[in-house]
């Protein structure tokens, strides 16, 4: 089986280090208390080979324009950005994608799937692995919404998952587990897990509330899905 090292940065931000590539998803910030092992320092970025930086949409907790400065330290970075993100410049290494778009970069394949918020989700095939990062694709079941709004949110979400089924098997999937949804924090992740059955499911979009990942892992154990327990920014997860 192909291997990867996954690093939790913060919120929905992750690094996936595969055999030949360095993928960075939805960087928002890297917490200060983590300074002694900052993964995305200029020194580290300089050393990386085949760097691909993904941003699923323009919300500030998924896209930080600071990422565009990283190419000062490493000129071989490709940016793969949702087409709702606006940049000052238009460069050859800025690649904008909308739902349904597909792109091939040398030996990496990227397809943009939809979202139930703005932007897209990413399906990436690289070094023998299939990786999915959901962005803000989730079953957003808000208590304060009307019944009609809740029903619509559910049907839109399930329609997106139906399309993603064609990509099975997925090795590594990142999916929102948002504590703001209170008791319904897990319903999107559980539905995704049952239908897609990724080899490992990594919770995200929980801010500082890492405890929710423990609750989520326990739920996933009951349906035989391997999920990652996240304890702190900078944590390494071996796939």
Average pLDDT over residues 177-183: 97
1: confidence class by pLDDT, cuts 50, 70, 90: confident
pLDDT averaged over every residue in the chain: 96
Structure tokens at 184: 């319904």
pLDDT digits (tens, 9 = 90+) for 95-115: 999 999 999 999 999 999 999
pLDDT digits (tens, 9 = 90+) for 187-228: 999 999 999 999 999 999 999 999 999 999 999 999 999 999
pLDDT digits (tens, 9 = 90+) for 35-46: 567 899 999 999
Please provide the DSSP assignment of 100-112 as one string. T-EEEETTEEEEE
Q: How far apart are CA 189 and CA 196, in angstroms?
A: 10
Report whether pLDDT(230) > 60: yes
Hey, how many other C-beta atoms are within 10 angstroms of the C-beta on 232? Answer: 11
Task: Please give the pLDDT value at position 20.
Answer: 97
What pTM did the predictor assign?
0.97
Task: Please give the pLDDT value at position 203.
Answer: 98
- Matching CATH number, 5-238, of 2.60.40.10, 3.30.1280.10, 3.60.15.10, 3.40.47.10: 3.60.15.10
Task: Please give the pLDDT value at position 220.
Answer: 98
Asked if the peptide bond before residue 169 counts as cis, ω within 30 degrees of 0, the response is yes
| The residue to which tokens 């992750």 are assigned | 14
**Beta strand 77-82 pairing with 94-97:** parallel
Q: How many alpha carbons lie under 13 Å from residue 85 in its C-beta half-sphere? A: 29
Percent of the chain with pLDDT over 70: 98
Using CA atoms of 28, 134, 55, 168 in order, give the dihedral in degrees to the nearest 10: 140
Task: Please give the pLDDT value at position 31.
Answer: 86
Closest residue by Cα to residue 205 from 174, 232, 164, 229: 174
Q: How far apart are CA 80 and CA 4, in angstroms?
A: 20
Q: How far apart are CA 212 and CA 193, in angstroms?
A: 17
Average pLDDT over residues 57-70: 97
Local structure of 148: helix, strand or coil: helix
């Amino acid at each position: 089986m192909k291997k990867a090292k996954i690093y939790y940065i913060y919120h929905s931000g992750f690094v996936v280090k595969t055999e030949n590539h360095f993928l960075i998803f939805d960087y928002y910030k890297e917490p200060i208390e983590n300074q002694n092992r900052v993964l995305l320092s200029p020194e580290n970025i300089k050393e990386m080979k085949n760097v691909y930086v993904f941003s699923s949409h323009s919300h500030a907790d998924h896209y930080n324009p600071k990422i565009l400065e990283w190419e000062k330290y490493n000129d071989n970075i490709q940016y793969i950005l949702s087409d709702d993100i606006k940049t000052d410049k238009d460069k050859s290494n800025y690649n904008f994608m909308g739902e349904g778009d597909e792109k091939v970069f040398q030996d990496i394949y990227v397809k943009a799937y939809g979202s139930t918020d703005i932007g897209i989700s990413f399906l990436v095939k690289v070094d023998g692995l299939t990786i999915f990062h959901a962005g803000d694709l989730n079953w957003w079941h808000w208590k304060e919404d009307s019944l009609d709004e809740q029903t619509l949110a559910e049907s839109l979400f399930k329609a997106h998952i139906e399309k993603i089924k064609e990509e099975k098997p997925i090795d590594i999937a990142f999916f929102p587990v948002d504590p703001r949804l209170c008791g319904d924090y897990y319903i999107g992740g559980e539905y995704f897990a049952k239908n897609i059955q990724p080899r490992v499911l990594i919770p995200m979009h929980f801010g500082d509330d890492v405890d929710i990942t423990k609750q989520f892992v326990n739920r996933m154990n009951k349906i035989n899905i391997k999920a990652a327990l996240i304890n702190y920014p900078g944590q390494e997860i071996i796939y």
